[in-house]
A and B are shown apart, each in its own frame.
Chain A
Amino acid sequence: MKISEIRDLLDAEVLCCEDSLDQEVFTACGSDMMSDVLKYVKDQAVLLTGLCNPQVIRTAEMMDMVCIVFVRDKMPSDIMVSMAEDDDIVVMTTDKRMYEACGTLYANGLIGKAIHV
């Protein structure tokens, strides 16, 4: 699935790195606990979260993720967006709740499985 499709499906507002919207992604995970996110290694992953602090960006960076979707209308600070820009991570925000956002992406084909180390 292209990141632009994620934007469209979630009716999300893109906050940075619009140049990367054509990038393909194969897996995603939704969590507000960053240590749970760090448990799984995936390629080209998307992070959906309702947590809104700089550690969300760092977690995505450590995992080589390429897109973060803030759910429930959460709006990252300018500093967070700037950090994401430095790492070429697309950041978007949607008013959808976590359950609906994850379900929508899954139902539309983003069903890649995590790889345990």
Chain B
Amino acid sequence: MSEPLIFHFDVDGENFASAGQASTQVKKNLRQLGVPAATIRRVSIAMYEGEINMVIHANGGTADVIVSEDYIEIILADKGPGIPNIEQAMQEGFSTATDQIRSLGFGAGMGLPNMKRYTDTMEIDTMVGVGTTITMYVYL
């Protein structure tokens, strides 16, 4: 693979049922590229959690996945409310999700910790009232 491959997705913030479609597609693409199964699982879980977060908290956004020879980069960008306290948001169990979201199986305060757990590096760039961009790397 000489040139990095770039996959771009718009994440619909209006439809909880369809959340995860981008992650599903990325999983298929990585399989076709022959990426090891364990790596695919890490990438897809991290991206899926991010997608769910964008739908729950930020009314959607965009997801870009860049596949190069040495790494897979996942960039999730939204124009949501931003994260006022990143340290707090990274704690397992901390969540601002509503009871309705919890009844759908998410909002347990595991999203961001899981994203960090399954990737090699994760950076959060956020501004309250402007939005959040999360960049994650999984090395090949």
Contact = CB atoms under 8 A, between A and B. Distances in A.
B45 A34 contact: no
A32 to B, nearest CB: 6
A35 B19 contact: no
A35 B114 contact: yes
Interface in A35-57: 35-36, 38-39, 41, 49, 51, 53-56
Interface string B69-91: 00000000000000000000000
Interface string B91-121: 0000000000010111111110010011000
Contacts of B19: 55, 58
Query: Which of B23, B49, B104, B118 has the most chain A CB atoms closer than 10 A to its own CB?
Result: B104
Interface residues of B, number: 28
Contacts of B118: 117
Given A53-B17, A64-B37, A117 B108 contact: no
A62 interface: yes
A34 B19 CA distance: 13
Interface residues of A, number: 21
A33 B37 contact: no
B3 to A, nearest CB: 28
Contacts of A58: 19-20, 23-24, 48
B27 interface: yes
Contacts of B11: none
Contacts of B114: 35, 38-39
Interface of B: 16-20, 23-24, 27, 37, 41-42, 44-45, 48-49, 52, 102, 104-111, 114, 117-118
